[in-house]
Structure 1
Amino acid sequence: MFTNMLVVSEIVQEAHEKIGLEIDSSPHKMRIISSKKQEISFYNNKEKSVYHLISGEIELRSTNSNLIVLNVYAPAIIGLSSIFTSNDLFYINTVTDVELVSIPMSELVKTANEKNLWMYISTIMSHYLDVCYLRDSILYQDSVYNVIKNHLEILWRFKRDKLDEISVFDFILNRTPVSRSSLNKVLKDLVSGGYIKMNRGKLVEMNKLPSGY
């Protein structure tokens, strides 16, 4: 289910491309080239901005908890969730070297009114809403074990080269309020039970996980 939700439909792709072209062609645009592990705010000179992620991967992190809410891969539009509010809920953390173009949110609203772009904006926001709803359904479980189990199953769907780069501890602790001690205990028990194999903190093998713990 999680994998299917992250598949971007042609309609959503078209919406990202259309809004991306408008951002890239704006006379108010600002181009940003950033290395990995850098924080980028949605505010520029106290004015909220919207971004077109042209290349690379970023994390949207909560300003309150610093937990990762969502990983976003180029090409994508970022920042529409607060288009009509002053809430400062997220910030960008770069996972790789990235290239972005930003414009003031007010300019995007003006352009959307002039060129009737609201269907494209609504399509993008609807997709992000679906993904965040799924994330919450995975995160808010009746036990710590189920939260860990769900995230292990998500992680195991990654390609091998990506798995070799990701620490299981970092992946889960950066996305959930699970404590390190609880995570360590569950992982040790899963290794002892033959359900998973780990090497230097990386997940190298996983069988079907038990439904309960």
Structure 2
Amino acid sequence: MAVNNNSGETPPPSLYPLRPYEEMAVLRQALSGVGTEQCFNSNEEIYAARENDKSLYLFTDGYFSFIRVSDGLVLSSARGEMIYGIAECMRPRGGWFLKIEEPCKARVVPVDQAFEIFTQQNLWQTVASLLTWFIQVYSVREEHLLGVTAYVMIRNKLLELNILTPELRSAINVTDYIQERTQLARSTIMAILSQLRRGEYIEIKRGKLISIKHLPKEY
């Protein structure tokens, strides 16, 4: 098969809905006087709800991946400010965890204290707005991966990877990145990437994505 060069144009860089920074700032401010500051190292795994221990994690910066427990699938990755644990503490099911990708700090707040403050300060609408963003992100992710061809999956993950800074991309193997997020066979990924490179649609050096010139919608 060959890449169809007559299809539509590469979409704009904003693949996912804008993160609700204003809402996160409001919640961080409300919880600034409770909990403790903790440091986290790369590859640490955080479970917001474990038996009787439930906490929210308020990160001002960092790089994180959300991992499905059952098979290690990377559901999504995010860099920057993040509040983790609200949904998991409200309705625990243990289906996923947060993996720390680089050293960072967070304010860790016991969930009982956090929820009491949300009620006292009438912040549940703000919480709902934040949770809506998470739902939107995962809805877009499903659009990228369900009911589409292997090429479309790979195309979407290449565009997603291309949004990262060159410094971040320089530490990420493009084949690993796609496989961790799609669970496609490695041979399938490498075959499609090879055709895209031969057609000069993308530039990859030493396994790292350097640039995308154009990615047709169809294969």
Relative to the length of structure 2, the TM-score reads 0.85
**Greater RCO, CA 8 A, separation 6+:** 2
Q: 1:20 aligns with which of 24, 28, 35?
A: 28
SS of residue in 2 equivalent to 1:55: coil
Amino acid aligned to 1:5 = Y
Q: For 2:106 and 2:204, how far apart are their aligned partners in 1?
A: 36
CA distance in 1, matches of 2:60, 2:47: 17
Structure 2 unaligned spans of 5+? 1-11
Moved over 6 A (4+): none
Question: Displacement of 1:106 after TM fit?
Answer: 2.5
1:113 lines up with 2:119 in the alignment = yes
Equivalents in 1 of 2:210, 2:117: separation in Å?
Answer: 48
8 Å Cα contact 1:168-1:203 kept in structure 2: yes
Q: State the number of aligned residues.
A: 208
Q: Is the 8 A contact 1:15 1:124 kept in 2?
A: yes
CA drift at 1:2:
6.1
Q: What residue is the counterpart of 2:5 in the other structure?
A: none
What residue in structure 2 maps to residue 69 of structure 1? 75
Question: What TM-score does the superposition give when structure 1 sets the normalisation length?
Answer: 0.87
Deviation, 1:154, is 1.9
Aligned to 1:5: 16
Amino acid at match of 2:16: M
Structure 1 residue 169 and structure 2 residue 175: aligned? yes
Deviation at 1:22, TM superposition (A): 2.8
RMSD (CA atoms): 2.0
Q: State whether residues 16 and 124 of structure 1, in contact with CA within 8 Å, keep that contact through their aligned partners in structure 2.
A: yes
Distance 1:134 1:2 in 2: 14
Tell whether the 8 Å contact from 1:2 to 1:134 is kept in structure 2 after alignment: no
| Cα distance change on mapping 1:137 and 1:85 into 2, 3 Å | same
Instruction: Output the amino acid matched with 2:48.
Output: F
> Helix, strand or coil for the counterpart of 2:93?
coil
> Cα deviations across residues 29-69 of structure 1 (Å, max 9, x unaligned)?
13220121221221356322211012322112111222222
Give the secondary-structure state (helix, strand or coil) at the position aligned to 1:175.
helix
